[in-house]
Amino acid sequence: MKIGFIGLGNMGGPMAHNLAVAGHDVSGFDTAGVKIDGVTSVDTAQAAVVGADVVITMLPNGAILRAVADQIIPEMKTGAVFVDCSTVDVDSARAVAEQANAAGLGAIDAPVSGGIGGATNGTLTFMAGGGADAFATAAPLLEIMGQKSVHCGESGAGQAAKICNNMILGITMIGTCEAFALADKLGLDRQKMFDVVSTSSGYSWSMNAYCPAPGVGPDSPADNDYKPGFAAELMLKDLRLSQQAAESADAATPLGQAATDLYAQFVENEDGLGMDFSAMLPRFSKLGR
C-alpha cells in the first residue's frame, strides 16, 4: 500500500518504520524535519498524502490535528482512508472524520495504548472508531503496528475508550501511590505490601505491571529514577481530555477531576514536569496530612 505518515515523533517514527519494514511504500512528514529509516521524507504534509491509499497521523493534540486535516484532506485521493492515531478530544476526532467523509474519504480515529516500547516492537493496542469499511482497510496496517485492535463503534469511540482507560489509569496510580505512602508511615515493608496487594483485591496494572515503588515488582520507571515511561504531563493531558469529555457529555467523574487536579498541581506547581507519572509516590512520601 502507499501510505502517507504525518507526525514522526516518539510514537509515529517507529510506527512508520515498522510499516516500511513490512514492505509498504511510506512517505513521511514532520515539521521538525525528522527522518526515519525506510521512510521517504517529504517537505510538506500535502506531498506525503498525494496518491496515498491510507494516511496516518500521530500528532500532539486536537488543534494540530484539525490544522493538518485542513491541509491534507483536499489533497487526498477519493476513497483513501484517513487514520488518526493521536490522542485527542472526542469532538476534534468527530469533526475531522466528518470533514474527511464529506470529501469522499474513509476515516477512523485509532488511538493507541502501549507507549514507545509498543510502538517500537509493533505491539500496540488500537481502539478505533468510524465506519466498518474504513476500519477494514486500515486493519492490516494496524496489525503490523500492533498486536490487537478493537473496533469500538462510530467516530470518536476510539478516543472515548482511550480517555476512559487513561482516566482509570490516573486514578489507580494515585491510589496505589498514596497507599504505599500510608503503608510506609504505618511501618509496613514495601515488598510485603506488594506481595499482598498484587494478589488481593487492591491489585491493578499500576501495582502489578508498573509498580511505583523502586526495587519492588517488575522493572518499571521507578527503578530508573522515575524517568518516563509515560510522563506526568502526558497523563495530565489525557486526564484533561477526560474532564472535557465529561463536561460535554454531562457525566459525573469526581475521581477523574481529583486526579486531574493532583497531576496539574504536580506538573505545574511542583517538580513533576519531565518525571514519570508514577513519581506520585515520592511526592506523597514528602507530604504529611
Catalytic residue from among 162, 192, 227, 286 = 162
To the nearest whole angstrom, how small is the minimum distance from the Cβ of residue 239 to ligand NAD? 12
CB 191 to ligand NAD: min, Å: 28
In 10 A of CB 199, how many CB atoms?
10
Q: Please identify, using beta-carbon distances, which residue of 59 and 95 lies nearer to ligand NAD.
A: 59
242 contact partners, CB below 8 Å, separation of at least 6: 163, 164, 166, 167, 253, 256, 260
Query: Quick one: angle between helices 232-249 and 254-264, nearest 10?
Result: 140
- Pair 25, 2: CB distance under 8 Å: yes
On whether the CB atoms of residues 191 and 224 are closer than 8 A, the answer is: no
C-alpha cell at 159: 478516543
Find, among 283, 285, 278, 233, the residue nearest to 260 by Cα. Answer: 233
Cα angle: 149, vertex 211, 275; to 5 degrees: 85
Cα–Cα distance, 54 to 3 (Å, whole number): 5
Closest distance between ligand NAD and the C-beta of residue 250, in Å?
Answer: 25
Nearer to ligand NAD by Cβ, of 109 and 137: the residue is 109
Residue number with CB closer to ligand NAD (146 or 179): 146
CA–CA dist 30, 101 (Å, integer): 24
Shortest separation between residue 28's beta carbon and ligand NAD, angstroms: 9
CB of 235 to ligand NAD, least distance (A): 10
Choice between 107 and 197, CB closer to ligand NAD: 107
Give which of 238, 240, 236 is closest to 275, Cα–Cα: 236
Q: At which residue does the C-alpha cell 504536580 appear? A: 266
Residue 46 or 198 having the CB closest to ligand NAD:
46
Q: Is 162 a catalytic residue?
A: yes
Instruction: Please say which residue, 217 or 221, places its beta carbon nearer to ligand NAD.
Output: 221
Distance separating alpha carbons of residues 12 and 139, to the nearest angstrom: 17
Provide the minimum distance between the beta carbon of 92 and ligand NAD in the complex, in angstroms, as a whole number. 11
**Judging by beta carbons within 10 Å of its beta carbon (0-12, 13-18, 19+), is residue 178 exposed, middle or buried?**
middle
Q: Which residue is nearest to ligand NAD (CB)?
A: 9
Separation of alpha carbons 255 and 236, rounded Å: 14
Which residues of the chain form contacts with ligand NAD (CB under 6 A)?
6-12, 29-32, 34, 45, 58-60, 64, 68, 86-87, 112, 115-116, 230, 234
Catalytically active residues are 162
